[in-house]
Structure 1
């Protein structure tokens, strides 16, 4: 129903009644001239209200009628729209069938033409050899043209429908045909080159499709492998390798980002999960490469370069983690534990002929050396703390109680099981033992020289403290030097020298036990690293400690002689009596003096 008719039907239908009402009201107003002004105002307001209500009801009726008409139009036209949509789909299917039918008819016509030409040529006599030769080349050209059109049309359909495997099969077959036909004498080379150019163009389109598929960030590993196999079949192995490495690089980068977001750097589980994730992805990339090119194929240079780059990326994350370890207590052991996790997962790749351990060690060695030096500097302060309260009194300590079992059989002062040490000496040996337990795994990083120098500096620091204790006349002026108990009596000084002698023996055996067999491990690898461990460094370290110990003994002897030579004149020289048999004897007074 039309809206105009609806409007006309409802608009002002009660107008006569309103006029009658107005006329009656006017008449009543004329007759009642004696009414008050208040009654007049109320009558006007009631008339206006009735008019407004009337208009509102009419507008609501118009709105309801309009909505009804709108819905009826929609329901009436919806079925027509559906029929048109279905008709368009049917027309498209008919066009596709018609296209296939046309191509089939075209192929049949070409086959019929070729058959007619062959029959005509077979009936001609030998006298028309010249004419036959004139028809020969156009016939071959028409056969190649027909074949070209059919192949290109089929390829276009397959590419539009994303039927990659079928398109690859046709392209491989046409490559074989091209290799065979270009050596035939009666084949038109110009047409053949045009056909090969058209095939190359389709190859480019298929390569572009496979590349876009491989670069899709949501592609699965199986789909990626299928796309890369297709690129290898097209002869673009270099592109396939690059896409493979790009895929796994993006997976490693996103995995590292997610792991950093989910776990704190202070969490020990972080570095273990990171090592496992990164090297497992490198392993997966290596397996994918083997699936593409076979077990016997060596890794391409770009694959080897990529694995080293990813190892460097992991080393940067490892360095960040190690630097985040701020606590001194347990920090070295935590860093060593992280290093062991990294190396253990890295070594698993050797079963796949990927030796990345040397490159990993090369990049994590600097940060591990920094951690080692920081903790060794801290231990020098610890030595100053526990020697400040030593009274320089010797005690007998069981060797196996302060050393490991490898050193328990050493002989010190004719006592195979005990050694004489002061309180600070016992604590110093215990500290050295704890340090060696932590730093022993660092030998795999080829930083034996740094470890030796660190232990040697700690021992030299302790000897310096003992020297200050013996040299009682020296006053400590440096604020950084801790106060110690001076060894004022000869007995205390002798205790210090005995303590030093035991420490020298223990330190020598400890160092040799740490580096036992180190000179025979990876000897060829160590030759290429001049800064690495050399067996002569152990002898040099021990010789340095022996010289420092000998210097302390010389200082004691010098001070003792000076004391003896500076005795007051009240002391009598010893009276020596020689009997008839040549025996030397001292008087009782002399013996008491000494």
Structure 2
């Protein structure tokens, strides 16, 4: 890359630097031109491949025509850049939120550990401070000197008591024993009150070291001894209360009393953890007693387990709020605990219900269990606990397995029906079409119109199983499985269309079973695929979008609007899915058309084309030999084409095939026929052969093209693509004739189609 004109910023010449910088202040300064000028390689640099590639890529991005870009273009570029930066900012914010949610449990655990560490540090600081006060009081204590005046008193004391005693010392000695009695008698409230009283005594003992206050100077020592004794008994009381909370039989008021006692002892974090552990222990005990059996399997087992689990979560939340209040740290711990309990519940459901249902393809059973679980879980939403996303994450793999097993069962069942299908179109045997008692209400009439679609037995089987499949998936829309279900159903429909394509006859020697040999049977193949792709499957897909189906039905009652238009209006996300289905129908349509075109174009031995360049080249030779004018009739193969199209149309009318199936087929058949005439092999002979097309051959070619146009326009089989193909072929024939030196205008041939 050349930067030969770039100013040398390391040069000491400030004047030249200033002149270079003035270039950027000019009004007509173009950043693109400046960069292109610096990127354009010299003659020597062109030998370096990567430099030339960089220059070409940059030119391709900005375009040489935009070198002199205006201020408006620069403004638009800035807007685009700002929009891209905002998009990047939103994406970054989403990634940050996603990362935060994924590490939420770790964050809460770290917060709890930090909070617990802070509490331990405060306790340690308090203990060290109390011990320091004891040491300081002992070091600074002034022992009174007993003079002769007090010698009698001192001797009396030593003789009477043997040591310095006081009321405080006596109470300090008896207090631990009294506390032990209360603790043994399980009188927790009195023990807590006594502990608080002892702490007050310790504080007074530390604060009193003066003899003039009528207190003994050794009172601080007694307070220190009492402090050590009460600390040991505090630990015993905390351990006892913790053991009480861990017992499965303790619940309700007794549990809350023990938790409140721990809070009075300053063990709030431990008390909250024990509260949650107590609820979890009782829940695990209940789950252990609940075993899936023949009567409590599936929905009943899920309902019972859901009632236990989410009732325990709800009760734990109420106890937490009642005892501890709305403290953020405890609320976070409750959320983490609820997620852990929910995971245990979800794995129980997955192990005992969903796994077997998924393996057997029981989609309805799996959907019922998931719906029950979500129903109980949604009751916690009002209390501020959102557990449904976690359930969806755990259940998703099993539900996807059930979906796949169900789709596989659909494919296997339809494959078995295809092998025995006779391709005759009938109404479904379970359709109440002829029940006069059911046809009185408007809703039933609408259902009759919907269900009165003639299909073959394999298509009826596919439709019924697809309807059941969508009905089973509809309760699972909250798990974002609609796309997976639609994609899987589209794959099975494409596989079904492949089976229909194999039923279309071909010219191979391989024998096939259940081949649709007659025109009516081939129309039955296409009717199956068209009805499923355009009506039945899109209608079943409406079940995945609650509320949409009723809206569409209401509009259909008020106005004569096609259901396809309604679906495309309300559900734009289904457009791509419908296009995928229609592409499969077009594949089947093309194979049917290809078969009929080959019947027309090939001779009986299948070795020679009925339409070839010689058909037109030989006309001028025969006219020269016989001096006879050819008949103004289309070629024989085009007459056979017209007869073939009419026979297909008549067969469709006799079999009551919908014109929405037949008309696109005939239009496509005309296109495929004309496409065979657009091959290079056909035109290379006409354009490059020494004996090129003559006036008679050109007239016959144009007549054939005009015949197809008239046939298509009069019967409604025309299309823009067909018109474009015919116009191109006619123009190409005229150009080939003009290449011989003749004047096409002298033939009075209507070239413009």
TM-score (norm 2): 0.49
Q: What is the aligned counterpart of 2:183 among 159, 164, 167?
A: 159
Any idea what the Cα deviations from partners look like across 1:363-399, whole Å, max 9, x if unmatched?
1111111111112111100111222232223346799
Q: What is the aligned counterpart of 1:455 among 489, 494, 511?
A: 489
Give yes or no for the alignment of 1:492 onto 2:505: no
Please give the alpha-carbon distance, in whole angstroms, between the structure 2 residues aligned to 1:282 and 1:167: 32
Q: What is the aligned counterpart of 1:231 among 251, 262, 266?
A: 262
Change in Cα spacing, 1:334 to 1:476, as seen in structure 2 (3 Å) is farther
2:576 matched residue in structure 1: 540
Please give the alpha-carbon distance, in whole angstroms, between the structure 2 residues aligned to 1:409 and 1:428: 22
2:504 matched residue in structure 1: 470
- Is the 2:425–2:455 Cα contact (8 Å) retained in structure 1? yes
2:461 matched residue in structure 1: 427
TM-score (norm 1): 0.61
Q: What is the aligned counterpart of 2:474 among 440, 445, 458?
A: 440
Please give the alpha-carbon distance, in whole angstroms, between the structure 2 residues aligned to 1:494 and 1:546: 16
Please give the alpha-carbon distance, in whole angstroms, between the structure 2 residues aligned to 1:513 and 1:189: 83
Please give the alpha-carbon distance, in whole angstroms, between the structure 1 residues aligned to 2:304 and 2:470: 27
Q: What is the aligned counterpart of 1:282 among 280, 305, 313?
A: 313
Please give the alpha-carbon distance, in whole angstroms, between the structure 2 residues aligned to 1:239 and 1:202: 18
- Is the 2:358–2:366 Cα contact (8 Å) retained in structure 1? no
Change in Cα spacing, 1:476 to 1:338, as seen in structure 2 (3 Å) is farther
2:247 matched residue in structure 1: 216
Q: Which has the larger radius of gyration?
A: 1
- Give the count of matched residue pairs: 427
Give yes or no for the alignment of 1:509 onto 2:543: no
Change in Cα spacing, 1:316 to 1:566, as seen in structure 2 (3 Å) is same
- The structure showing larger relative contact order (alpha-carbon pairs under 8 Å, at least 6 residues apart) is 1
1:99 matched residue in structure 2: none
Please give the alpha-carbon distance, in whole angstroms, between the structure 1 residues aligned to 2:515 and 2:471: 32
Unaligned runs of 5+ in 2: 1-149, 151-163, 211-216, 434-441, 549-570, 616-628, 648-753
1:61 matched residue in structure 2: none
Change in Cα spacing, 1:310 to 1:430, as seen in structure 2 (3 Å) is same
Please give the alpha-carbon distance, in whole angstroms, between the structure 1 residues aligned to 2:521 and 2:220: 108
Please give the alpha-carbon distance, in whole angstroms, between the structure 2 residues aligned to 1:215 and 1:252: 12
Give the secondary structure class of the aligned counterpart of 2:291. Answer: helix
Change in Cα spacing, 1:467 to 1:254, as seen in structure 2 (3 Å) is same
Please give the alpha-carbon distance, in whole angstroms, between the structure 2 residues aligned to 1:353 and 1:225: 22
After TM superposition, list the pairs within 5 Å mapping 1:147-296 onto structure 2: 147-149=171-173, 151-175=175-199, 192-260=223-291, 266=297, 268-294=299-325
Change in Cα spacing, 1:178 to 1:543, as seen in structure 2 (3 Å) is farther
Any idea what the Cα deviations from partners look like across 1:37-96, whole Å, max 9, x if unmatched?
xxxxxxxxxxxxxxxxxxxxxxxxxxxxxxxxxxxxxxxxxxxxxxxxxxxxxxxxxxxx
Change in Cα spacing, 1:394 to 1:299, as seen in structure 2 (3 Å) is same
- Is the 1:279–1:346 Cα contact (8 Å) retained in structure 2? yes
Q: What is the aligned counterpart of 1:555 among 569, 587, 591?
A: 591
Any idea what the Cα deviations from partners look like across 1:515-551, whole Å, max 9, x if unmatched?
43699xxxxxxxxxxxxxxx88633322222222212
Please give the alpha-carbon distance, in whole angstroms, between the structure 2 residues aligned to 1:434 and 1:417: 14
For the aligned residues, what is the CA RMSD?
A: 4.5
Please give the alpha-carbon distance, in whole angstroms, between the structure 1 residues aligned to 2:545 and 2:410: 24
Change in Cα spacing, 1:392 to 1:576, as seen in structure 2 (3 Å) is farther
Give the secondary structure class of the aligned counterpart of 1:260. Answer: coil
Note the C-alpha offset of 1:228.
1.8
Note the C-alpha offset of 1:245.
2.5
Please give the alpha-carbon distance, in whole angstroms, between the structure 2 residues aligned to 1:475 and 1:204: 93
After TM superposition, list the pairs within 5 Å mapping 1:101-180 onto structure 2: 144-149=168-173, 151-175=175-199
Change in Cα spacing, 1:570 to 1:514, as seen in structure 2 (3 Å) is closer
- Is the 2:504–2:515 Cα contact (8 Å) retained in structure 1? yes
2:383 matched residue in structure 1: 352
- Is the 2:182–2:190 Cα contact (8 Å) retained in structure 1? yes
- Is the 2:247–2:278 Cα contact (8 Å) retained in structure 1? no
Please give the alpha-carbon distance, in whole angstroms, between the structure 2 residues aligned to 1:449 and 1:390: 31
- Is the 1:390–1:484 Cα contact (8 Å) retained in structure 2? no
Please give the alpha-carbon distance, in whole angstroms, between the structure 1 residues aligned to 2:182 and 2:342: 42
- Is the 1:392–1:423 Cα contact (8 Å) retained in structure 2? yes
Change in Cα spacing, 1:308 to 1:542, as seen in structure 2 (3 Å) is same
1:323 matched residue in structure 2: 355
Note the C-alpha offset of 1:305.
2.0
After TM superposition, list the pairs within 5 Å mapping 1:46-57 onto structure 2: none
Please give the alpha-carbon distance, in whole angstroms, between the structure 2 residues aligned to 1:219 and 1:165: 17
Please give the alpha-carbon distance, in whole angstroms, between the structure 2 residues aligned to 1:294 and 1:587: 92
Give the secondary structure class of the aligned counterpart of 2:250. Answer: coil
Change in Cα spacing, 1:487 to 1:218, as seen in structure 2 (3 Å) is same
